[in-house]
A = this chain, B = another copy of it.
Amino acid sequence: MSHSLQLNPDRLFPAEPSVRAIARRLYAEAADLPIISPHGHVPAQWLSDNIPFGNPTQLLITPDHYVNRLMHAQGVSLSDLGVGQAEFSEEQSRNAFRLLCKHWPIYRGTSVKFWFESTFVDVFGIDVRPSEETADQIYDQIAEKLASPEYTPRALFDRFGIEFIATTDDPLDDLAAHEKIAADPTFPKRVAPTFRPDKYLEPARPDWIELTDKLAEVSGVETGTYAGWVEAMRQRRRYFIERGGVSTDHSHADPRTDRVTENDAERLFAAARAGHINEVEAVALRRHMLAEMGELAAEDGLVMTLHPAVARNHHGPTFEKYGADVGADIPISVEYTRALQPMLNRVGTAEGFQLVLFTLDETTFSREIAPLAGFYQGVYAGAPWWFLDAPEAIRRYRSAVTDTCGFTKTSGFIDDTRAFCSIPARHDMARRLDAGFLAGLVADHRLEEDEAVETMVDLTSTNPRKAFKL
């Protein structure tokens, strides 16, 4: 016997009937608003070229480390899910999908289950619960849909109601896909690039000299000196701005922004170029460079987003076999108050400077992020991200930051995803949880319902527009 799969209209709302009734009303105000997705990982080529998606496994399993890591934690080989496989046959894909369906119970209580259920029902019209018995039936049904014109990237983009989406791009990317989209009158949507320069700020990387050489080549600015490096970065940021870019994204082991003197910056940079910078110096230079990004942000107005403090590729053998972004990144604790002080002292109140702080260390929500966002005009408390992008954590986030910085200084939801079909479900989850949180405030008389309605719409539409200058 297979169970049916349905989406309850009240999902994620508080259970108490009077609070649930308020949540329903608040949600209704935002449910159909366009999706604004100012940070994510959908490739622009999907939209510029509108190439139909491959099979269900290629779309829903192989590229999604949220999905894969939990099967890996049960002993499933990443290879069997298509990860790192140059060739992966249709039969292998079908087997991978069977593995997912067989392991369906391991996702109970996780947001992966919520996203999949929404995607299966709302996007693909599936009405049976995944299981070993139903795996093939679901696979076939999705495969059939993916072959139809209603399931091309652009068709889904329209159907999902996405108004704005940002991709994540290397500073040297020519952004041809973005240009192609912008020039195409048949697809009048805004797809913005995001400037993600992490590796150019890590002088200890073995390929850093090569990267700075390429930076010079592409920017047309000599990068033999630190001043040259800064100018090259300035040029490339300009290039992104001209192609619709609104933000830069930064993810390092820590968010410190200590500056060295200009002389020391040149000296450390020269050592790095010469290939003999040590680890401590490389970290010092990286922190200085991150602070420099703040200066440039104050200058050119690109919003700066920080996603620090993850031990990337925690399991060496997995990294060697499969590369990065396969589920083996583990968070570490982080400190913002002292770390950001040097940068905020210089540009924290500068006109146009905006900084969105994300974290995987929830302790910083009430202790550091909300107090910073509650004082500095340009600082926003970023939405819960990655491991925290789930109902319980999102509730804890609102509980942790609202007392101190209210609603207006929160970034609005970001989906940060490469799982294109889950985008509506992710934004829907956030809207349902915001409706539930606001309903709680109305129920205990901290807000009047008209105030909650206005806030509900703000969180969905106004806040991301303000935080990312849209």
Contacts and interface: CB of A to CB of B under 8 A. Distances in A.
A110 interface: yes
Contacts of A402: 109-110, 392
Interface residues of A, number: 95
Contacts of A69: 374-375
Interface stretch (A82-90, A176-184, A205-213, A363-371): A363-371
Interface string A313-334: 0111110000000011111110
B317 A345 contact: yes
B341 A70 contact: no
Contacts of A396: 399
A272 to B, nearest CB: 25
Given A10-B445, A113-B446, A366-B362, A72 B375 contact: yes
B405 A73 contact: yes
Given A11-B446, A74-B377, A327-B375, A407 B109 contact: yes
A378 to B, nearest CB: 9
Contact of A367 (B113, B331, B375, B408): B331
Interface string A326-351: 01111111010110010011001100
Contact of A392 (B70, B348, B399): B399
A408 B315 contact: no
Given A72-B375, A333-B367, A367-B361, A444 B317 contact: no
A91 interface: no
A329 B376 CA distance: 11
B405 A70 contact: yes
A413 interface: no
Copies of the protein in its oligomer: 3
A127 to B, nearest CB: 14
Interface stretch (A15-23, A53-61, A189-197): A15-23
B74 A408 contact: yes
A110 B451 contact: no
A242 interface: no
Nearest to A458: B105
Contacts of A390: 403-404
Given A317-B349, A367-B361, A73 B110 contact: no
A14 B444 contact: yes
Contacts of A399: 392, 396
7 contacts: A11-B445, A15-B16, A73-B377, A74-B408, A109-B403, A391-B446, A392-B399
Interface of A: 3, 7-8, 10-19, 69-70, 72-75, 105-111, 113-114, 129, 311, 314-318, 327-333, 335, 337-338, 341, 344-345, 348-349, 360-363, 366-368, 370-377, 379, 387-388, 390-393, 396, 399-400, 402-409, 440-441, 443-448, 450-451, 454-455
Given A73-B405, A392-B399, 13 more contacts: A3-B450, A70-B405, A107-B406, A315-B344, A315-B345, A315-B375, A332-B367, A361-B367, A362-B363, A366-B387, A392-B400, A393-B403, A396-B399
